[in-house]
Amino acid sequence: MSLTLTTAGESHGPGLTAIVEGLPAGLELDREAINRDMARRQLGHGRGGRMKIEKDAAEPTAGVRHGRTLGGPIALQVANRDYANWEERMNPWPVEADVPPVHMPRPGHADLVGAWKYGHDDVRNVLERASARETAARVAGGALAKAFLSALGVEIRSHVTQIGPVTAPQRDRPLVVADFEGVDEDPVRCLDAEASKAMVAHITAERKNNESIGGTYEVVVYGLAPGIGSHVSWTERLDGRLAQAICSIQAHKGVEFGDGFDLAATPGSQAQDEIFGVEDVADGDERTGAVRRRTNHAGGLEGGMTNGQPLVVRAVVKPIPTITKPLRSVDLATGEPAKALRERTDNCVVPAAGVVGEAMIAFVLASAYREKFGGDHIDDVRAALAAYQERIGWVGAPIGA
Ligand SMILES: Cc1cc2nc3c(=O)[nH]c(=O)nc-3n(C[C@H](O)[C@H](O)[C@H](O)COP(=O)(O)O)c2cc1C
Ligand SMILES: C=C(O[C@@H]1CC(C(=O)O)=C[C@@H](OP(=O)(O)O)[C@H]1O)C(=O)O
């Protein structure tokens, strides 16, 4: 049993499609929850004019009936409202109008290499598909993965931890689900009010300097069963699969789990999460499980498998490549020096990127759950999960531990 997500669509074409194959039948979908995620991906101080045009919604055209999955492939459509302004330039069929080609590639975008590789004279034939507009389809597909995981007690949250040089302060305790309440109302999706103000000011100032800005965000996943993923084969190690999914997102240049890069300077005895019997942990938690942890340096992953602790993933997003004071480039038509294409652009996308990160992590986790628990109907999956948890004596970690 496997789960696949295919996206299709160009940034200024008629629309995007997400096809999700492999979800069980009987899974209840919440239209509002799906479209809430679509709207969350549009958020954040630093986004450009395009977000004022789009009002993203994902409409199923296959695989869903009366709010429940049917067990077959699900198709979701996301319209591009901006297509109305691009009908001639992006029409799937030949047009009368003379559409001038783009031949000034932007450093840092797919423009130059994509034109070489695919034999395009017009860079637009590359940038339209390379554009992170495609992440709207990922978030639509990811929302289905989230619905599946939520039916199995798994919840995913994200927040921004750094914008340019401004960092959110370290927390003195692990985050719990309730801490994320209201994060989407913050203009940069940051949990610290002071840091948020400084981040907003930084984005505003750098926009005036014609600069783009990168940053980092963190995704935390609660309620995972232990043993999702596997140590037996490199292709099944969950950390590897999650890293691939995160680094596949446009402008994402790094990923870390738990203490991540800080582990380089940590003595080994302090880098692991010691294992305690339940009786050793006087935390007042009445649930019985065979073991407890007091720390989560590993970010919920050991040996390429979830270990029952919250999964903690951080990602770094580079400053986006379209610069309003264009960088030096070459005119591909003449070979002469030129200024890079200057397009309408975002100048900071880290808050939105966190929502895309949630979707990709949800998709990888949902795939791994499908592989482990199988089932044609969601109740089959629930029963298989319950039987497995009973076999290993697992009744859940204290949330946020
Ligand atoms: C949500 C989101 C929005 C983005 N918006 C822009 C943008 O407005 N302008 C731009 O040049 N790049 C933008 N990017 C980044 C480019 O899509 C990306 O840098 C490009 O596809 C090249 O891929 P790479 O940076 O991974 O090498 C955005 C990325 C994300 C995740
Ligand atoms: C459209 C979206 O992001 C786009 C991603 C993007 C890029 O080059 O990646 C360039 C911009 O496109 P446009 O020139 O149309 O404004 C962004 O707006 C979106 O996130 O929905």
Q: Token digits for 321?
A: 């490549």
Nearest 5°: the CA angle 43, 54, 87 is 150
How do residues 267-313 score in pLDDT, each as one tens digit? 999 999 998 876 655 555 544 456 788 899 999 999 999 999 999 99
Compute and round to an integer the Cα radius of gyration of the chain.
Answer: 22
Q: Using one digit for the tens of pLDDT, what is the confidence trace for 48-57?
A: 999 999 999 9
341 lines ligand 1 (CB under 6 A): no
Residue among 315, 325, 391 nearest 349 (CA): 315
Rounded Cα distance between 54 and 56, Å, is: 6
Distance (Å, whole) CA 215 – CA 202: 12
* CA–CA dist 18, 144 (Å, integer): 11
- State the Cα–Cα distance between residues 360 and 250, nearest whole angstrom: 12
Q: Is the CB of 349 under 6 A from ligand 1?
A: yes
Q: Which ligand is nearest to the CA of 108?
A: 1
251 is an annotated ligand-binding site residue: yes
Annotated binding residue 393:
no
Residues 6+ apart with CB under 8 A from 318: 108, 214, 251, 252, 253
Is 52 annotated as contributing to ligand binding? Answer: no
| Percent of the chain residues past pLDDT 70, beyond the cut | 95
Confidence of residue 99 (pLDDT cuts 50, 70, 90): very high
Report the b/e string of 337-354 with b at 16+ CB within 10 A: ebebbebebbbbbbbbbb
Residue 401 has pLDDT above 50, yes or no: no
DSSP conformation letters of 350-393? HHHHHHHHHHHHHHHHHHHHHHHH--SBHHHHHHHHHHHHHHHT
Average pLDDT, rounded, for the chain: 94
Ligand 2 atom nearest residue 136's Cα: 21
Say if residues 143 and 361 touch (Cβ distance below 8 Å): no
% of the chain with per-residue pLDDT over 90: 89
pLDDT of 76 reads 98
CA of 184 to the centre of ligand 2 (A): 20
* 131, 248, 249, 344: residue to mutate for ligand 2 pocket, most atoms within 8 A of CB: 131
CA distances from 359 to 22, 144, 147, 157, 177 (A): 16, 9, 11, 10, 17
Which H helix or E strand runs over 155? strand 155-163
Q: Which protein residue has the closest C-alpha to ligand 2 atom 4?
A: 133
CA atoms of 362 and 149, how far apart (whole Å) = 7
Instruction: For residue 368, report the distance from its CA to the centre of ligand 1, in Å.
Output: 28
Torsion, Cα of 389, 146, 252, 116 (10° steps): 120
- The alpha helices in 228-374, defined as continuous H runs, are 238-247, 268-271, 350-373
ipTM of the complex: 0.99
Read off the pTM.
0.96
Between CA 186 and CA 168 the distance in angstroms is 13
For ligand 1, whether the C-beta of 345 sits within 6 Å is: yes
User: Phi and psi (nearest 5°) for 7?
Assistant: -115, 150
If one residue of 38, 128, 250 were mutated to test the ligand 1 pocket, choosing by the most ligand atoms within 8 A of its CB, it would be 250
In the reported structure, the alpha carbon of residue 343 is separated from the centroid of ligand 2 by a whole-number distance in angstroms of: 9
pLDDT confidence tier of residue 219, bands split at 50, 70 and 90: very high
pLDDT at 288: 46
Q: Which atom of ligand 2 is nearest to the CA of 130?
A: 9
Closest ligand 2 atom number to CA of residue 344? 14
pLDDT in tens, 184-215: 999 999 999 999 999 999 999 999 999 999 99
Tell me which residue has its CA closest to atom 6 in ligand 1. 346
Question: Ligand 2 centre from 346 Cα, in Å?
Answer: 7
Residue 245 DSSP SS3: helix
Per-residue CA distances from 179 to 32, 44, 157, 176, 182 (Å)? 22, 19, 10, 6, 8
381 lines ligand 1 (CB under 6 A): no
Look at residues 256, 285, 250 and name the one whose alpha carbon lies nearest to residue 137: 250
Q: Could you tell me the distance, in angstroms and rounded to a whole number, from the CA of residue 336 to the centre of ligand 2?
A: 27
Span from the CA of 356 to the centroid of ligand 2 (angstroms): 14
Which residue's alpha carbon is nearest to atom 15 within ligand 2? 50
Q: Where are the beta strands (DSSP E) in 205-333?
A: 215-222, 252-257, 275-277, 291-293, 301-302, 305-306, 311-317, 328-330
Residue-range domains of the chain with CATH:
4-392 (3.60.150.10)
Tell me, what's the pLDDT at 284? 52
pLDDT at 342: 81
Does ligand 1 come within 6 angstroms of the Cβ of 322?
Answer: yes
Atom of ligand 2 nearest to the CA of 127: 8
pLDDT of residue 283: 54
Ligand located closest to 90 CA: 2
pLDDT at site 394: 83
Which residues have a Cβ under 8 Å from the Cβ of 76 and sit 6 or more positions away?
A: 17, 18, 19, 20, 58, 59, 60, 61, 137, 140, 141, 144
Residue 293: C-alpha distances to residues 272, 279, 365, 394 (Å): 10, 12, 22, 14
Q: Does ligand 1 lie within 6 Å of residue 130's CB atom?
A: yes
The residue that leads in pLDDT, 345 or 126, is 126
Give the residue among 324, 333, 344 at the shortest CA–CA distance from 100.
Answer: 333
User: Residue 221 and residue 142: Cα distance in Å, rounded?
Assistant: 14
Looking at residue 285, its pLDDT comes to: 52
Cα 123 vs. chain centroid, distance in angstroms?
27
Flag the least confident range among 59-63, 130-134, 172-176: 172-176
For residue range 24-49, list pLDDT tens digits in order. 999 999 999 999 999 999 999 999 99
Residue 399 has pLDDT above 50, yes or no: no
